[in-house]
Structure 1
């Protein structure tokens, strides 16, 4: 008797699940133990929506929960940003959640000596004792008018970050809220800002592109938008050429049409040589860039050009760039510096220009986060201008923004001690002439994360007497880790808020267990990928395994409450007066209520409608992309809460499609 292909697949699926279950833990064994009448495997648990923060794409996901245990994570099928897919990070998050070495309860240090080889000799304590110890030290700084000697270190964050990261140090009286942004993406953002006045992550229209030039990025394996890149990469390889500049043969490079194994740190030479070829051979996009007034290409090797001879359209300074930098930057010159054959540089430059305007110069941290990487960042993004691919179909785009509710003004809650303390120079020394430190287009505004260690060690501009760190591990993630080890030894009182023990925990006086971002907390997120912007929520899909609390809201509330009992109520008053449940109008009375209220608050007035991206005609007649901000599903935005979960269990995200 024969068997159909469909019948064979059904039979093997059921058999495979049974065999796999024989060696699995009980939750896995029971998760798929029943089949329906059609022979399909039935699910006895439920899928619950949340958001992964394993990178800054922050993909909407769903977690399969069986008997109160998280079994599996998948992409949210309703999400257009990540195609309903995920990368390995959310799978690994389950290991973080059930790590037997998680920080389970608050702990205090009993060994006063700090160092790499010193056992902290942590002992468990109650939350009351832990928070009391933290606020005792904070009150000591207020009484001595040294609030500026307090620092708050932050790694990753949610959309509600400012409720803790900004409000706590500001109202307390310290200028020192220090994020990890300088070791994350600021160099990558610098180039597009200086060349285009845009400070944020960019998005790339992979669906319609014909050429992708990747600058030390490996999008199918790492950094941002991995699910999107994995989902689209097969199509990209079918319809476009891909060239990867990277010292190592990455996963993406191994599949690409061209791999340019650049000598580390010499990406800028390739940028200049590619631009040189495009201009010298007259293959730039004239509709976007412009042209010589008489139509004759005057860009010649080694020769300066009269700026008045060129009439620019959408760019500024193309001839100046040639005269100052590009006229001598031939592929032969770059080959000696960068280690890439000149003939390959010529080929890549010509193919990139031929595909214009559907060509992408994909800027990434690998080429920008190095010595003088800001210049590489500028040049790599400027190639998009030469191709006319900026804000174009198949090119590079700014992407949509999802507006979030700003936290209420803080000024009314600052007393004289706070106002005075806040005026002090930051411990990272930003603002000094040797640190331009761009941020969002402003000089001297950007954090200089890795310089904090030097500031602490040299007590310049002053010493740090107390610090709180959450979701961060600067001792591991910053270069010159030994400096950070010595700096952490030098801080008299350090509090580390963390899910899993880390190198920085070694130097803590108090350790506070945090809830896992994907599984155990309420949170609100915004991000963008795949030409979509989206907001999503995190929800506790399982009960917290241990005695942990949410870093940005619950722990902030407990600190504020304790400070109020000791005579400084400003932070507590701010939380109580300015935040209310937008559905009921009720104020929080404890830390758990505050976590939920804060999550709802950030969506309260963040938008109620969507305006889709429209195509408009440029002066040259080409379709360029433009859009208006907005969000879909205002009811979803305003109804994040327990009542809304039943309606939106499977779809916690909303998207903006250009």
Structure 2
């Protein structure tokens, strides 16, 4: 402590002592024995009634329940809903950004029509206001005309984040009544479809996993960004606190290509060469089997209990008694027996001793789970990488167990007021559209195993193969920025009648012929069944905190209003459906027979509570058998047929190390990946095919924790939070290992050029010594040429423009992380 500071504190103490003495003397002189009376305290003037509304955050897919505070018609506070099981009264940092969305000055204020026929980055659309009736009539006229000509297939819906029965849930009926195979094309192929396909191939569930994280004792996290972007993000952070403070403490090994918050917080961080996760997982499986660490209750055991798995040695077919798995013997003989840690070290770059130690820890700890996402699956070998990781969950018996992983139950919604099947005319049943493929060619011989291939739709239209689109409607997706090689979409949409429904001026909106702005999530009524969470069913409800502050509508109501204007029985159907509130009231009728644990039984109580849920999860694997909940306990022993129908939905009814699903597509997989047809079903190591040819650096573009549904770039507050973590005032940094930079004459802070086969972008270099030397990292957030005044032209260059449109042929997932580039000083 300095002498000046000490003297100041001493003088202050003497002053206070003197003041107290003077006060006491004054009180004695006046005969008072207490404090002098003061004026009555007055509360702040009441400015208006504060209302708290239940809603659901839309900053990411987590779907956390929120309490929205509104006073005098103004939203001024957003907090986690204590009654919502995902939020538990908490929010992540971006959860508080809802008012920025609501009061964004760059929002579209109402429906508009384009007046400039030319489309391009530098073209002013010349938008002019129109009425909603004019907008709906214009769209219906185009759609009716296409239908009359037998060309209804040339109309396509594209969507990103579908929330529930009141928006994306309306697409299927619209498509079959109107007559288009393109209702709707989702963005899953540009998101995380690889993890779903890996599970489809091994355990028969084409879905993301739910998890019992509170009870797990070991987590192997592979490329999942658990503390950055894993779903549901807010709850994941809560669970991290519980897992890391409970007894026994959950041990965590993180495997990734770069340093990130999860790596930094883990007990062990292993740096892996991009796209080699499958080799690492197979080596873990090898050790688990050779060390006898597999779960015998789930996997089974040798008939001769003295027999064991030995590296490089085959086991005799029929010598292993498989229980709830299929193909283990062949998997060992044809793949795993030679996948030693030493072999994996040559592929992954991870030392064999670390691989072996991780395997022993994972195999000897119960319960343990392995999770993964786009890190391992965002490559041409992504499905096989995911299958190898998921196979570890089977080996250690974590499927459907306490502390393990399982799948989400659906919400028991009531029926709509009309059945679409009763309103199909001859054209809907037998029209020419029935013989037309989807514009993205999903589910055709080109992509037979995929559900969606949005990244192919723009290029296919441009080529006119299989046909040209006439009209395209976009909801919650912006492929002119999010698709790989998005400049192709810029050319493709120049001759398409584009309808964009975003509240914000994104890149796709700049190509729109009609803008139909949706209300923000604080202004709309909307349901949202949970993404996979803890397995038991849950569905939250958005209740408008304020009436729409501009002339905007809910997307579901837009679709219904267009439907009312379609000729024939389609219009009759939508007139009965009427509006979104009617849809939700009928859906909520299902809660009467299935009351929520929080007392929700109908639409009104759903609005009041903001969420319906019903515990527990209905199925559990216990000591070798599957049991179903009987209302009191897991007391109903399930038959093999029950398990196949409800849980392990594979051809064998078991977890398959040799996938019967993949074997159905043997010729296709052989053609695309070169795997011999007799081996395609095996969980195995497949060499990736990197775009970029002989370029020397891997280019990785992860999301940051502040990535707010693609809107974060135009929120100054979100950008400010980015600054100390990922970038400066006007950019995010390109993160480069110092040795990699110095070899190229690049200094910290230099302007650099990143080049792929598609072209180049520029960025500002920042040294990150903890990244792999062969991998450069550019967080996926900025680089917009539209989206609003703060987003537009904020650096660096857009990573998508140097990302080739290459996809995993099995899952269809775009290979965002598999490109190779060169780096030089700009």
Q: Which runs of 4+ in 1 moved over 4 A?
A: 33-36, 41-44
Check the 8 A contact 1:244/1:258 in 2, yes or no.
yes
Q: Deviations over 1:442-466 (max 9, x none)?
A: xxxx122212123212212211111
Could you say what the CA RMSD is over the residues aligned between the two structures, in angstroms? 2.4
Change (3 A) 1:34 1:522: farther
CA distance in 2, matches of 1:117, 1:327: 59
Change (3 A) 1:469 1:399: closer
Change (3 A) 1:35 1:312: farther
Check the 8 A contact 2:564/2:573 in 1, yes or no.
no
CA distance in 2, matches of 1:272, 1:652: 41
More divergent stretch after superposition (386-395 vs 85-94): 85-94
TM-score, length of structure 1 as denominator length: 0.82
2:562 counterpart of 1:597: no
2:534 counterpart of 1:522: no
More divergent stretch after superposition (266-275 vs 328-337): 328-337
After TM superposition, the structure 1 = structure 2 runs for residues 307-322 of structure 1, keeping only pairs within 5 Å, are 307-322=317-332
2:126 counterpart of 1:121: yes
CA distance in 1, matches of 2:590, 2:442: 34
Equivalent residue for 1:325? 335
SS in 1 for 2:529: strand
CA distance in 2, matches of 1:122, 1:315: 60
Superposition deviation, residue 651 in structure 1: 4.6
SS in 2 for 1:374: helix
CA distance in 2, matches of 1:118, 1:602: 44
2:600 counterpart of 1:636: yes
2:436 counterpart of 1:437: no
2:475 counterpart of 1:470: yes
SS in 1 for 2:335: helix
Superposition deviation, residue 362 in structure 1: 1.2
Q: Deviations over 1:140-189 (max 9, x none)?
A: 21232211111111111222235632232322211112111222332111
Check the 8 A contact 1:55/1:223 in 2, yes or no.
no
Equivalent residue for 2:615? 656
Q: Deviations over 1:549-586 (max 9, x none)?
A: 0001x2123223444xxxx1433310233x4xxxxxxx
2:251 counterpart of 1:241: yes
Change (3 A) 1:34 1:353: farther
2:541 counterpart of 1:537: yes
Superposition deviation, residue 437 in structure 1: 2.2
Check the 8 A contact 1:278/1:349 in 2, yes or no.
yes
Equivalent residue for 1:255? 265
CA distance in 2, matches of 1:489, 1:351: 56
After TM superposition, the structure 1 = structure 2 runs for residues 147-296 of structure 1, keeping only pairs within 5 Å, are 147-160=152-165, 161=167, 164-177=170-183, 178-238=185-245, 239-296=249-306
CA distance in 2, matches of 1:320, 1:99: 59
Check the 8 A contact 2:600/2:609 in 1, yes or no.
no
Check the 8 A contact 2:219/2:368 in 1, yes or no.
yes
Equivalent residue for 2:423? 413
TM-score, length of structure 2 as denominator length: 0.66
Check the 8 A contact 1:52/1:60 in 2, yes or no.
yes
Check the 8 A contact 1:159/1:524 in 2, yes or no.
yes
Change (3 A) 1:110 1:576: closer
Change (3 A) 1:98 1:270: same
CA distance in 2, matches of 1:124, 1:447: 34
SS in 2 for 1:467: strand
Aligned length: 567
More divergent stretch after superposition (327-336 vs 155-164): 155-164
Superposition deviation, residue 295 in structure 1: 1.5
Match of 2:368 among 355, 359, 364: 359
CA distance in 2, matches of 1:35, 1:384: 58
After TM superposition, the structure 1 = structure 2 runs for residues 325-474 of structure 1, keeping only pairs within 5 Å, are 325-356=335-366, 358-405=367-414, 407=416, 408-419=418-429, 420-423=431-434, 424-438=436-450, 446-474=451-479
Superposition deviation, residue 132 in structure 1: 2.4
CA distance in 2, matches of 1:284, 1:394: 17
CA distance in 2, matches of 1:557, 1:225: 30
Superposition deviation, residue 97 in structure 1: 1.4
Superposition deviation, residue 35 in structure 1: 7.5
Equivalent residue for 2:135? 130
CA distance in 2, matches of 1:421, 1:219: 47
After TM superposition, the structure 1 = structure 2 runs for residues 3-14 of structure 1, keeping only pairs within 5 Å, are none
Q: Deviations over 1:436-494 (max 9, x none)?
A: 324xxxxxxx1222121232122122111111111111222221212222222232x11
Tell which structure's C-alpha radius of gyration is larger: 2
CA distance in 2, matches of 1:369, 1:495: 30
Change (3 A) 1:608 1:57: farther
Change (3 A) 1:281 1:43: farther
Q: Deviations over 1:210-268 (max 9, x none)?
A: 10001211222213111221112123223111011111212111100011111111111
CA distance in 2, matches of 1:364, 1:608: 37
Change (3 A) 1:299 1:406: farther
CA distance in 1, matches of 2:279, 2:268: 17
Equivalent residue for 1:571? 570
Check the 8 A contact 2:219/2:251 in 1, yes or no.
yes
Change (3 A) 1:458 1:167: same
Q: Deviations over 1:517-575 (max 9, x none)?
A: 2x1111112114245431111111111111000001x2123223444xxxx14333102
CA distance in 1, matches of 2:56, 2:235: 15
Equivalent residue for 1:557? 560
Equivalent residue for 2:109? 104
Equivalent residue for 2:624? none
More divergent stretch after superposition (428-437 vs 472-481): 428-437
Q: Deviations over 1:112-148 (max 9, x none)?
A: 1112332222222222222222222222212322111
CA distance in 2, matches of 1:404, 1:649: 18
CA distance in 1, matches of 2:242, 2:540: 27
Equivalent residue for 1:67? 72
